[in-house]
Structure 1
Amino acid sequence: MILYRPVSTKELELIKKSNYRSFPPRLPEQPIFYPVLNEQYATEIASGWNVKYNDDHKGYVTKFEVDDSYCGQFEVHQVGGAHHKELWVPAEKLKEFNEHIVGEIQIISEFSE
């Protein structure tokens, strides 16, 4: 399954430290890791929310692949329009989720003010 994740500069630095192989653990107040199912939605978040609310006013879109059979255990949630779909991964499963990433996490877009 091809997934996308809008990230901040801080999160991107942690991804780089993993050699583009994993996403960092969630913070205690973040019980869900939610990659999105399409580039359009990820771009909306990175170019709007991340640019507006992050300290450095930058946002990035990452693209990555996860084993299809593994992803089947997680619920897809539509949280707005037809293209606003997210895969909801409980934070405690993120380490296992990272182990099912195929290849590297790619940076496909960058946005700034």
Structure 2
Amino acid sequence: MNGKQTVTLFRPVGQQELDLIQASGWKQFPPRLYWQPIFYPVLTEEYAIMIARDWNTKDPNSGYVGYVGYVLQFDVEFDYLNQYEVQEAGGRDLKEYWIPSEDLQEFNQHIIGTIDVIHEFRPVPSEESS
């Protein structure tokens, strides 16, 4: 490590975003799409799991590959992240940072180490698909 204090964050993603992160050597998040004004890493693994399991596995924007949801874990320099306020996203335990999409490239430069996949969720097959 480089001796800097870090904060561990989590990010729920679908297959397309995961493929782009992998292509970066597990070092950065891809630019946001035109309709995505913020990048929102979350503060807890539990919240990221809820999004990946309950939303990403049902989202057609996840790449149409079985609607897989992944939870990623990564560390960001505390001093850099400190400029952003923690936001509550519908509840006391649902906390995330709102990084403006135009700041994402700089945000990526403050990731320490690699972005790691820590969970993978696939939809439960329905009885109709049998």
TM bucket, shorter chain: over 0.9
Q: 2:3 is matched with which residue? A: none
Question: Counterpart of 1:106 in 2: which secondary structure?
Answer: strand
**CA displacement 1:54-93 (0-9 Å, x = unmatched):** 3222100000000000000112110122210010100000
**CA displacement 1:16-59 (0-9 Å, x = unmatched):** 00000000000111110000000000000000100011322210
What TM-score results when the alignment is normalised by the length of structure 2? 0.85
Q: What is the percent sequence identity of the aligned residues?
A: 50
Query: What root-mean-square deviation, in Å, do the aligned CA atoms of Structure 1 and Structure 2 show?
Result: 0.7
Structure with greater strand percent: 1
CA distance in 2, matches of 1:59, 1:39: 13
Q: 1:18 is matched with which residue? A: 24
Matches within 5 A, 1:1-113: 1-54=7-60, 55-56=64-65, 57-113=67-123
- Please list every run of 5 or more consecutive structure 2 residues that lacks an aligned counterpart in the other structure: 1-6, 124-130
Q: 2:4 is matched with which residue? A: none
Which one has the largest radius of gyration? Answer: 2
User: How many residue pairs are counted as aligned between the two chains?
Assistant: 113
Deviates more, 1:5-14 or 1:76-85: 76-85
Structure 1 contact 46–59 (Cα < 8 Å) conserved:
yes
What TM-score results when the alignment is normalised by the length of structure 1? 0.97
Which consecutive aligned stretches of 4+ in structure 1 deviate over 6 angstroms post-superposition? none
Deviates more, 1:92-101 or 1:45-54: 45-54
Q: 2:25 is matched by which residue type in structure 1?
A: N
- Please list every run of 5 or more consecutive structure 1 residues that lacks an aligned counterpart in the other structure: none
CA distance in 2, matches of 1:61, 1:34: 13
